[in-house]
């Protein structure tokens, strides 16, 4: 079969197919679908490229559920993104007015702040679901109540929020109050999670084992001063840099100035004794009693400690953000 015959046969086949009504309808539908797909891509690209805020663009973005950011598959919508942008933009304008400051507001700086804040809020929301925590109505009320003390009443608080951010009280709760409550709750969970803090626990345990294995042996330093193993390791490994310079010495402390776990251990020790590993809200400690005033009126202890900081929520959040799959559509 020569080339002409092959072409003719192909055209005949196409004619035959097009004469089939069902195939013809499918073909037309397919062409329309491709045309709509291309049109949609062009429209979305133009909206993203120009950060279009027109009525058409916002309506289109709502209907098509256009994302501004995707974080691990979770969407921050185009509409919500620019709502948050307007909140912050209004805040900085009001701040400039109150300070009689003529500094030009940088839209790019606000966009970067909005992007960072919304990514963080999305990660917080994911973690809150993972650990099954959420702000209670009481907790939200208490936070608002704290603002009321400063403003005078809930109506005054709502008015100031409206004036400062151009947002309602409910929007303020959702975007600012609730993430703060979630973050504080997560901080406690993360700090006490033995899996997340595995490396921290291993570090403080190894330090304790060195002290115990040496029977807290006393040696001489470069200056010829006698120094025990506890003090040596405190200076070298304690993450409390202020006290580590003093071989872990925290000075004199009253009962009221210490957390319960530290207080109970400190007042149970004898002079020169050291504790096991103690957990506080900030991390892990081994403490040594240097001196004690155990009178009824002013009970005090002078203690030294070796401290390893537990994972905090800010560090953990940053790790989660760094490892997240994030796609930013806003140009």
- Whether residue 183 is found in the same domain as residue 324: yes
pLDDT-derived band at 288, boundaries 50, 70, 90 = very high
- Whether residue 188 is found in the same domain as residue 75: yes
Classify residue 165: in a domain, yes or no.
yes
- Whether residue 45 is found in the same domain as residue 87: no
- CATH no. for residue 247? 3.10.50.40
Reduced 3-state DSSP string for the chain: CCHHHHHHHHHHHHHHHHHCHHHHHHHHHHHHHHHHHHHHHHHHHHHHHHCCCCHHHHHHHHHHCCEEEEECCEEEEHHHHHHHHHHHHHHHHHHHHHCCCCCCCCHHHHHHHHHHHHHHHHHHHHHHHHCCCCCCHHHHHHHHHHHHHHHCCHHHHHHHHHHHHCCCHHHHHHHHHHHHHHHHHHHHHHHHCCCCCHHHHHHHHHHHHHHHHCCCCEEECCCCCEEEHHHHHHHHHCCCHHHHCCCCEEEEEEHHHCCHHHHHHHHHCCCCCECCCEECCCEEEEEEEEEEECCCCCCEEEEEEEEEECCCHHHHHHHHHHHCCEEECCC
- Whether residue 175 is found in the same domain as residue 202: no
Q: pLDDT digits over 123-135, tens only?
A: 999 999 999 999 9
Classify residue 25: in a domain, yes or no.
yes
- Whether residue 258 is found in the same domain as residue 298: yes
Q: Which residues are bridge partners to 249 per DSSP? A: 304
pLDDT at position 144: 84
**Mean pLDDT score across all residues of the chain:** 88
- Whether residue 216 is found in the same domain as residue 300: yes
- Whether residue 205 is found in the same domain as residue 285: yes
Question: What total number of domains does the chain contain?
Answer: 3
CA distance 248 to 237: 10
Residue 99 has pLDDT above 60, yes or no: yes
Tell me which of 181 and 144 has the higher pLDDT. Answer: 181
> Is the pTM value of this prediction over 0.85?
no
pLDDT-derived band at 96, boundaries 50, 70, 90 = confident
Classify residue 55: in a domain, yes or no.
no
Residue 3 has pLDDT above 60, yes or no: no
- Whether residue 145 is found in the same domain as residue 287: no
Q: Give the structural domain span for 38.
A: 3-50
pLDDT at position 6: 61
- Whether residue 117 is found in the same domain as residue 33: no
Residue 13 has pLDDT above 70, yes or no: no
- Whether residue 169 is found in the same domain as residue 237: no
- Whether residue 151 is found in the same domain as residue 189: yes
- Whether residue 180 is found in the same domain as residue 322: yes
Residue 302 has pLDDT above 90, yes or no: yes
Q: Which of 113-117, 157-161, 309-313 has the lowest mean pLDDT?
A: 157-161
CA distance 47 to 263: 60
């Amino acid at each position: 079969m020569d080339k002409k015959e092959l072409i003719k046969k192909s055209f005949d086949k196409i004619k035959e197919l097009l004469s089939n009504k069902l195939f013809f309808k499918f073909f037309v539908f397919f062409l329309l679908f491709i045309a709509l797909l291309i049109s949609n891509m062009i429209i979305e690209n133009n909206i993203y490229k120009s950060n279009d805020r027109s009525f058409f663009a916002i309506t289109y973005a709502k209907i098509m559920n256009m994302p501004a950011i995707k974080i691990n598959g979770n969407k921050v919508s185009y509409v919500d993104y620019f709502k948050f942008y307007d909140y912050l933009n209004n805040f900085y304008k009001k701040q400039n007015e109150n300070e009689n400051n003529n500094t030009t507001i940088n839209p790019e700086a606000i966009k970067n702040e909005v992007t960072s804040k919304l990514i963080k809020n999305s990660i917080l929301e994911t973690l809150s679901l993972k650990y099954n925590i959420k702000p209670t109505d009481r907790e939200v009320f208490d936070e608002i109540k704290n603002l009321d003390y400063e403003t005078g009443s809930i109506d005054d608080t709502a008015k100031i929020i409206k004036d400062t951010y151009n947002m309602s009280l409910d929007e303020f709760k959702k975007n600012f109050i609730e993430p703060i409550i979630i973050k504080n709750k997560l901080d406690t969970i993360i700090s006490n999670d033995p899996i997340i803090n595995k490396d921290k626990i291993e570090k403080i345990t190894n330090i304790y084992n060195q002290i115990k294995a040496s029977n807290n042996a006393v040696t001489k330093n470069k200056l010829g001063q006698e120094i025990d193993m506890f003090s040596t390791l405190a200076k070298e490994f304690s993450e409390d840099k202020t006290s580590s310079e003093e071989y872990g010495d925290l000075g004199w402390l009253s009962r009221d100035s210490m957390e319960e776990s530290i207080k109970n251990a400190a007042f149970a020790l004898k002079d020169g004794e050291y504790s096991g590993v103690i957990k506080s809200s900030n991390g892990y400690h081994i403490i040594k009693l240097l001196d004690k005033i155990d009178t009824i009126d002013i009970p005090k202890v002078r203690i030294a400690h070796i401290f390893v900081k537990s994972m905090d929520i800010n560090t953990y959040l940053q790790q989660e953000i760094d490892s997240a799959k994030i796609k930013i559509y806003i140009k």
